[in-house]
Structure 1
Amino acid sequence: MRKAERLNEIVHHLRRMHQAVTADTLAALFEVSPRTIYRDIQDLMDSGIPITGEAGVGYVIDKQYHLPPIMFDADEIEAIALGIGMVSNWTDAAFARKAKSAYEKIQATLTAPMIHELTQISTFSAPSRYKIPWKVNFTEVRECIRRKQFVTFSYLDLSDQVTERTIRPLALISFSPIWLLAGWCEMRQNFRNFRLDRISDFSVSPQRFRDEKGKALSDYLKEQDECV
């Protein structure tokens, strides 16, 4: 990775983080020495980017800082277009509209050569007759995840047994053509995955939950990694 690209990626990384990031962590991430990171950070600070650091604590960036317009290469544009096509074909109409809106905003920032690259795209996501329909409102489920609201529903398992579940919804996961709702199940007191097409009588509780140790999305993802 060239230095200019690394400097840009350091800024992006610091903006994503909600806590200070050490030079050692950045060095491991970008596969350079801590000394190189020290120089990179100083170069960024000298250029006016509001990064502050403290020995033994790490670096943080002022979240009010806005980056210059992002530049994409041809492969990045194609990857974005493919992802938006997949969203349009495998989610719902509301989310598809959001994806289209995002893509239009990205297009508005592109240079003339990049606009030309859009006409050369050769990777597509087409509608599939194998898509499995579901009864729940996909956008509503996403909003419950974002708002951290308990949800209750009837679930038909693979043995055709129906149970009533109350869960903390954590994520929607695509295993085309199946969508899974991952969450902490209050009945099982463990993480569970539920197929959207087997959920009925979906109800949103006004009660919200807070992330608790052992029950949060990060814990779920860690458990999934350990199972691989």
Structure 2
Amino acid sequence: MSRAERLLDLMQKLRLYHYPVSGAVLASELGVSLRTLYRDIASLQAQGAQIEGEAGLGFVLRPGFTLPPLMFTIEEIEALALGAKWVADRADSSLGAAANHALSKIAAVLPAELRLELDSTALLIGPSLHPGVADETLRLIRAAIRQEIKLDLRYLDAKEQASSRVIWPCALAFFDQIRVVVAWCESRQAFRHFRVDRIQSVVCLDVCYPKRRQALLKAWREAEGIPARNR
């Protein structure tokens, strides 16, 4: 591995951690000595990377710094192409278009040989089996999640019983056959999961719910027994 590749790899490792990580851990993951790691961190700092911390305390990368040129491995290119195709096929039209636009921006700055790999990838997405859902419904739900706004639903459950719910949406899960909103339900005073194809109508209340989305997601994971991700 060249030094340039090692520096890019170090930047990527640091991006994965949202809290200070020790030099020993980074050196182990990169397969280099501590001395080499400290030298590489100093080099990145000299180029403008906001890496805070010091030996013995740990290091954390502040956002806002990238190293040109944009470089990806062949497998990273395949992952990006496959992910964009999945989103374009499974999400609403505006999110699908955004995935394609993002891929086009990446392609525009790739070296010619990597652009060819992106354009000619042999990884394909199978036919979608999920029930049809109106684009506007998914767009409204996604917007409410981003803005932390309450939604008023008219919902049909598995027994075809209709009910009205005011929810605090905090996540939207895309499965192969269904889409599910994770939300706090005011009437049930508990987290509930709502299949999007069973939502008969949805109205944005333009009222922010009283908790941050991250706090709701943390509470939902704890309620469901889902292990916390690295932070």
The TM-score with structure 2 as length reference comes to: 0.80
- Aligned equivalents of 1:14 and 1:198: distance in 2? 42
- Aligned equivalents of 2:171 and 2:217: distance in 1? 7
**2:166 paired with 1:166:** yes
Partner of residue 130, structure 2 = 131
Query: Structure 2 stretches of 5 or more lacking a match?
Result: none
Task: Please identify runs of 4+ aligned residues in structure 1 that moved more than 6 A.
Answer: 31-34
Query: What is the aligned-residue RMSD (CA, Å)?
Result: 3.2
Distance 1:47 1:26, change over 3 A: farther
Distance 1:154 1:41, change over 3 A: same
Partner of residue 226, structure 2 = 225
**1:116-147 deviation line (CA, Å, top 9, x unaligned):** 2134411111443x330124521121111111
Distance 1:33 1:123, change over 3 A: closer
- Aligned equivalents of 2:152 and 2:5: distance in 1? 46
**1:27-38 matched pairs, under 5 angstroms:** 27=26, 30=29, 35=34, 38=38
Give 2:185's aligned amino acid: C
Partner of residue 188, structure 2 = 188
Maintained 8 Å contact 1:22/1:56: no
Partner of residue 21, structure 2 = 22
Query: Structure 1 stretches of 5 or more lacking a match?
Result: none
Give 2:20's aligned amino acid: V
- 1:38, CA displacement in angstroms? 4.5
**2:107 paired with 1:96:** no
Partner of residue 151, structure 2 = 151
Maintained 8 Å contact 2:173/2:179: yes
**1:143-202 deviation line (CA, Å, top 9, x unaligned):** 111111111101111111112111111111122111111111122222211100001220
Maintained 8 Å contact 1:181/1:195: yes
**2:76 paired with 1:52:** no
Partner of residue 207, structure 2 = 207
Secondary structure of 1:121's counterpart equals coil
Maintained 8 Å contact 2:52/2:60: yes
Moved more, 175-184 or 36-45: 36-45
- Aligned equivalents of 2:33 and 2:156: distance in 1? 53
Secondary structure of 1:63's counterpart equals coil
The TM-score with structure 1 as length reference comes to: 0.80
Maintained 8 Å contact 2:8/2:67: no
Q: Percent identity?
A: 33
Aligned residues: 224
Moved more, 184-193 or 211-220: 211-220
